[in-house]
Amino acid sequence: MSVPFLEARGLRHTYLADTPLACESLKGADLAVEPGEVVAVVGASGSGKSTFLQHMNGILSPTHGAVFFRGRSLSDKATDLTAVRRRVGMVFQRPELQLFEQYTGDDVAYGPRLAGLAGHELGERVRWAMGLVGLDFHAFKDRLTVSLSGGERRKAALAGVLAMKPEGLLLDEPTAGLDPVSHAELVRLLAKLAAGGMTMVIATHDMEDAAALAGRLAVMSDGRVVFTGETGGVFADAGRLEELSLLPPASVSILSGLRKSGWDVPAYAASAGEAVDAIRAALEAGRAR
Amino acid sequence: MSFEFLRSVTFGHYIPASSPIHRIDPRVKIAAVALALAALILCRSLVLIVLALAAVLVTAACARVPIRHVLRGVGPVLPFLILLAVLQALVMPRAELGPMLIRWRWISLSAGDLVAAAALILRFSALIAAFGLFSSITGTSELAHGTELLLSPLARLGFPAHDAAMVLSIALRFVPLLAMEAEHIVKAQASRGADFGRGRGGPLARARRMLPIYVPLFLSALRRAESLALAMEARCYTGGAGRTAPAGFRIRWTDAAAFICVLAASVGLVLANRFDPDRIIILALFGAGN
């Protein structure tokens, strides 16, 4: 078996350890992410998703357990954490609040500049990254970060991470709080990155996004990964969904409603488009009969 | 390296518990901590400072506040304290008290200097512990109401007592918030390849690495203050007259007794200095020196 891209083994983390306010957020979480795979981490607020994600590139270090990047433990003193963080980019929750440079171009350039790029090469990298997320280089590079709209800020934050040319992305609720158009744009962009072979771990509450992007679901509850399974299989299994207290995406609810009234449609469709195709096929089959 | 800045902040960390010490009237708590801090600053004797520190820690134990929590604030400033103490001991001879241990060019160290250096470190630790204890047993709203009530006599002279109390309590409340905000920024920068906490370079290089944090931290603090102001407006905050406290505060005899205890201890601490107990002990141990 190949070495996983990222692997968490028995992660435990306590915030404010040794204080009266100590709070155990992770209680032994395990997950292995294969190269090129997209995993959606879902679960109620407070189940430890953000904490878990922040362990995956060594921003937080576990109280027990370890994270392995391509087989190397991040807790190992010899591991160059900065290099790992460059290869596993992290987009934080509400990244628009974490743009720290004054100008958009500078903020995107932060990562590659620290990696040693300069001059023309740096400019090209920033142009490339901004192009990737759909921010026009000339129009946006000298815009004040505070003057950007919410959606633009999130794109800029993503560009800042992509500018480091990471092999993997950790995304903490990437689409939360976006308007529907920006939301759809961002999902399309992430799907494009995934198709290009980017490994991704996405923490999300949005089951539509999980269905559209992720091949596998990891369900977190009370600081543990309580279940992992193929996205389609989980959403098609009503009993399992109930057991995990998850709500399926609308496309799946529509199909399961039709199935209950006797339609011969598949139990799972990753998107509204796929559901429409399935329903149309069922209609046509019925007409032929 | 952990990015948990919040862990080393003890200010503004109220620890809810229901000990008799928690239940003391906030006015008494404020006045008592002010008295204790003043007495500690005026106190010069090591022996008395040790006694005062012990008294603070015993009070913390009675209030069921962990002693480590109260003393946590000492850690970060300890290197500076030690540096100060060493400098003071070597170059500022306090008194040629007790036997002279080192005399070399302009450096001289007597037993008295050592005692004074220890007193400096412990005095600061006791100050931090006293304030740490105070903030662990006093909630922010208690602090605001207490300050307001204490300042209310001045309000008759036109002093904005309520606003001053509000400003104070918000400022204290912002300390842990700023720590969290700094944590976010450092994490965001570290995840994009910044070199935090790797311990490379001297203290100056490390301080320079912290510089890019301050500007965004300042900006986000302003942003937070703005949204706080909006939230207060939205809930029709007017301040001053007409605002009531959720619970009436009344000084009970236990409060009075607690205050008298602290007052007596503080006055005793300052007065006992006159006898210079350190001198007595050093002279008893070493004789008059050389």
Q: What tokens were used for A18?
A: 């040794």
Burial class (CB in 10 A: 0-12, 13-18, 19+), A98: buried
Report the gap between the CA of A61 and the closest CA in chain B (Å): 7
Q: How far apart are the first and last CA of chain B?
A: 50
Q: Is B102 within 8 Å of B134 (Cβ atoms)?
A: no
- φ/ψ of A80, rounded to 5, equals -85, 100
Task: Mark yes or no for CB contact B187/A16 under 8 Å.
Answer: no
pLDDT in tens, B133-161: 888 888 877 887 888 888 888 888 888 88
Contacts of B198 (CB under 8 A, 6+ apart): A81, A82, B1
CA B244 – CA B155 distance, rounded (Å) = 16
B213 is a domain residue: no
At A73, the amino acid letter reads: S
Angle at A170 between CA A166 and CA A176, to 5 degrees: 130
Query: Domain count of chain B?
Result: 1
At residue A72, what is the residue type? R
Nearest to A235 by CA among A213, A220, A257, A251: A251
Query: Residue A172: beta bridge partners?
Result: A203
pLDDT above 50 (res B1): no
Q: Which of A16, A111, A160 sits opposite B7 (nearest CB)?
A: A16
Q: ipTM for the complex?
A: 0.81
Measured torsion, CA atoms of residues A47, A49, A51, A56, in degrees rounded to the nearest 10: 150
Please report, rounded to a whole number, the percentage of residues in chain B having pLDDT higher than 70: 82
Mean pLDDT across the stretch B74-97? 79
* Chain B interface includes A82 (CB < 8 A): yes
User: Does residue B190 form part of some domain?
Assistant: no
Is pLDDT of A194 > 70?
yes
Mutate to test the interface with A, among B8, B191, B200, B224 (most CBs of A within 10 A): B191
Give B230's pLDDT tier (boundaries 50, 70, 90): very high
pLDDT above 80: residue B4? no
Tokens of B26: 């906030």
Cβ-proximal residues to A282 (8 Å cutoff; 6+ apart), any chain:
A258, A263, A264, A265
How many whole angstroms separate alpha carbon B16 and alpha carbon A119? 55
What are B87-113's pLDDT values in tens digits? 887 777 655 666 667 777 666 777 778
CB contacts of B220 in chain A (<8 Å) are 97
Give the residue from B265, B267, B275, B16 showing the smallest Cα distance to B138: B16
Cβ pair A90, A57 in contact under 8 A: yes
Is the per-residue pLDDT at B11 higher than 60? Answer: no
- What is the predicted pLDDT for the residue at A137? 92
Kindly report the nearest CA distance between residue A121 and chain B, in angstroms: 18
Identify from B3, B192, B198 which residue to disrupt to test chain A contact, counting A C-beta atoms within 10 A and taking the largest count.
Answer: B192
Percentage, residues of chain B above pLDDT 90:
13
Q: Do A20 and B1 touch (CB under 8 A)?
A: no
**Which residues does chain B have within 8 Å of residue A69's beta carbon, measured at their own beta carbons?**
none
Q: Is residue B94 assigned to a domain?
A: yes
Task: Check residue B196 and give its pLDDT.
Answer: 67
Task: Scan for tokens 């939205």, then name that residue.
Answer: B234
Ranking A244-248, B58-62, B92-96, B125-129 by mean pLDDT, the lowest is B92-96
* pLDDT tens string A10-32: 999 988 776 667 788 899 899 99
Query: B180 in a domain, yes or no?
Result: no
Instruction: Please say whether the beta carbons of A68 and A247 come within 8 A.
Output: no
Q: What is the pLDDT of residue A97?
A: 67
Q: Is B242 left (phi over 0), alpha (psi -120 to 50) or beta?
A: left
B220 falls within a domain: no
Domain enclosing residue B148, as ranges: 6-165+250-286
Are the beta carbons of A267 and A256 closer than 8 angstroms?
yes
For residue B259, being part of any structural domain is answered with yes
B250 touches chain A (CB under 8 A): no
Question: Residue A77 has what pLDDT?
Answer: 84
Instruction: Tell me what pLDDT residue B290 has.
Output: 47
pLDDT value of position B154: 85
Most confident segment among A191-205, B65-79, B106-120, B232-246: A191-205
Of B6, B7, B191, the CB nearest to A90: B191
Q: A4-18, B113-127, B195-209: which range is least confident on average?
A: B195-209
Answer whether A213's CB lies under 8 Å from A190's CB. Answer: yes
Judging contacts by C-beta atoms under 8 Å, the chain A residues touching residue B1 are 61
Tell whether B192 is covered by a domain. no
| Closest-CA distance of chain B to residue A55, Å | 11
Nearest CA in chain A to B64: A20
Q: Which residue does chain B place closest to A166, by CA atoms?
A: B192
B212: in domain: no
For strands A23-33 and A6-15, give the pairing: antiparallel
CA angle A223, B15, B63 (to 5 degrees): 135
Give me the pLDDT at residue A20, please. 66
- Rounded to 10 deg, the angle between the B46-62 and B253-272 helix axes is 160
A17 contacts B192? CB cut-off 8 A: no
Q: Are A100 and B215 within 8 A, CB to CB? A: yes
The pairing of beta strand A199-203 with beta strand A38-42: parallel
The confidence band for A108, taking pLDDT boundaries of 50, 70 and 90, is very high
Whole-prediction pTM value? Answer: 0.76
Query: Is A23 near chain B, with CB under 8 Å?
Result: no
Residue written as token pair 């700094």:
B182
User: Which residue type occupies B277?
Assistant: P
In order, the DSSP letters of chain B are ----GGGG--TT-------TTTTS-HHHHHHHHHHHHHHHHH---HHHHHHHHHHHHHHHHHTT--HHHHHTTHHHHHHHHHHHHHHHHHHS-----S-EEEEETTEEEEHHHHHHHHHHHHHHHHHHHHHHHHHHH--HHHHHHHHHHHHHHHHTTT--HHHHHHHHHHHHHHHHHHHHHHHHHHHHHHTTT--TTS--S-HHHHHHHHHHHHHHHHHHHHHHHHHHHHHHHHTT---STT---SS-----HHHHHHHHHHHHHHHHHHHHGGG-HHHHHHHHHHTT--
Residue of A134, A274, A132, A149 whose CA lies nearest to A208: A274
Distance from CA of B91 to the nearest CA of A (A): 39
